């Protein structure tokens, strides 16, 4: 394509971790965390050893999504990740009081981000999924520069605005030579549970179009579905709670494309 042959994956800088994959979005609320967690569980089901790092310092949601609240322990000076649903998990939300707003400024935030990468005993892992904070600010850059990412998955809703933001995210990764593994269209369709009619509440095909225009793979759509939200709120993501559902299958397709 227009961007030439992607460079070969660089070794990650996290001991014992083979690949680090960022899940990013241009703005908040598009389902990036929900996608991260279900993708992590779908990769686990492919037989990979998986970790998930919640790098959303200002809105950590991993503890809720995986139903964990225990404080991590220290061993040999390293923070031990929490094992939940068969994946290693760590979130700033487990290290601080989740009910207190984080009012840190840049250096403190970047320090915390580095800590989550370098002071957590992640290895051995096949893949570490990093649930990135939305947008393209300092934390994102720290992460991109320090973690040596193997690739990035961009989550977007079909709405144009979200796609414009998603384009910025894509450009950020490309600037630092991180391969774009693909674009996921979340909340892509709605199947009415009462009458079976399929509606495209946020429009349709936007992400697929943008993907081809941006020379990035389209990884498919995830439907807008009440079960996805309910299972996420209960700390039992849909890939785990309804492994054979069409919604779980949508996440599994993404996992296969990424693995």
Q: Torsions phi, psi of 220, nearest 5?
A: 105, 175
> Where would I find the beta strands (DSSP E) of 6-101?
17-24, 50-54, 74-75, 78-79, 82-84, 87-91
Q: Which is nearer to ligand ADP, 29 or 67 (CB)?
A: 29
Q: Is 158 in the site for ligand ADP (CB under 6 A)?
A: no
- Over its C-alpha atoms, the chain yields an Rg (Å, rounded) of 17
Burial 184-206 (b: 16+ CB within 10 A, else e): bbbbbbbeeeeeeeeeeebebeb
91 contributes a contact to ligand ADP by CB under 6 A = no
Nearer to ligand ADP, 26 or 51 (CB): 26
Quickly tell me which residue has 């050893």 as its tokens: 49
**Residue 27 annotated as lining a ligand binding site:** yes
Of 14 and 248, which CB lies nearer to ligand ADP in the complex structure?
A: 248
Q: Is residue 93 part of the contact set for ligand ADP (CB under 6 A)?
A: no
235 is in an annotated binding site: no
Task: Judge contact between 147 and 130, C-beta under 8 A.
Answer: yes
- Secondary structure (3-state) at 114: helix
Scanning residues 3 to 62, which ones bind ligand ADP (CB under 6 A)?
25, 28-34, 61
Q: Is 33 annotated in some ligand binding site?
A: yes
Is 156 an interacting residue with respect to ligand ADP (CB under 6 A)?
no
If phi > 0 it is left, if psi is from -120 to 50 it is alpha, else beta; for residue 143 that is: alpha
Instruction: Work out which of 82, 127, 224, 248 binds ligand ADP, going by CB under 6 A.
Output: 224
Binding part of the chain for ligand ADP, among 112-120, 201-209, 223-231, 251-259 by CB under 6 A, reads: 223-231
Residue 202 C-beta: closest distance to ligand ADP, Å: 11
Residues 177-216 touching ligand ADP, rule: CB under 6 A, are 186-187
- Rounded CA gap, 44 and 164, in Å? 32
Which residues in this chain contact ligand ADP in the complex, by CB under 6 A? 25, 28-34, 61, 186-187, 222, 224-225, 228-229, 232
- Annotated binding-site members for ATP: 26-33
């Amino acid at each position: 394509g227009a961007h030439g042959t992607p460079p070969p994956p660089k070794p990650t800088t996290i001991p014992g971790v083979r690949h680090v994959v960022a899940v990013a979005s241009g703005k908040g609320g598009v389902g990036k965390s929900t996608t991260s967690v279900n993708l992590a569980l779908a990769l686990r089901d492919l037989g990979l050893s998986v970790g998930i790092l919640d790098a959303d310092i200002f809105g950590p949601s991993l503890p809720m999504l995986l139903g964990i609240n225990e404080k991590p322990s220290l061993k040999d000076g390293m923070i031990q990740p929490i094992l939940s649903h068969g994946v290693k998990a760590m979130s700033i939300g487990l290290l601080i009081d989740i009910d207190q707003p984080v009012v840190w400024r840049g250096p403190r935030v970047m320090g915390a981000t580095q800590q989550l990468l370098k002071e957590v005993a992640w290895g051995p892992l096949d893949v570490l999924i990093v649930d990135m904070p939305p947008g393209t600010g300092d934390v994102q850059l720290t992460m991109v520069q320090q973690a040596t990412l193997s690739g990035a998955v961009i989550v977007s809703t079909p709405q144009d605005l979200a796609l414009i933001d998603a384009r910025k995210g894509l450009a950020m990764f490309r600037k630092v030579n991180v391969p774009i593994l693909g674009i996921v269209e979340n909340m892509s369709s709605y199947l009415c549970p009462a009458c079976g009619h399929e509606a495209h509440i946020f429009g349709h095909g936007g992400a697929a179009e943008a993907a081809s225009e941006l020379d990035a793979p389209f990884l498919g759509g995830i439907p807008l579905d009440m079960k996805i939200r309910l299972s996420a709120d209960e700390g039992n993501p849909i890939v785990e709670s309804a492994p054979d559902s069409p919604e779980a299958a949508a996440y599994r397709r993404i996992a296969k494309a990424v693995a």
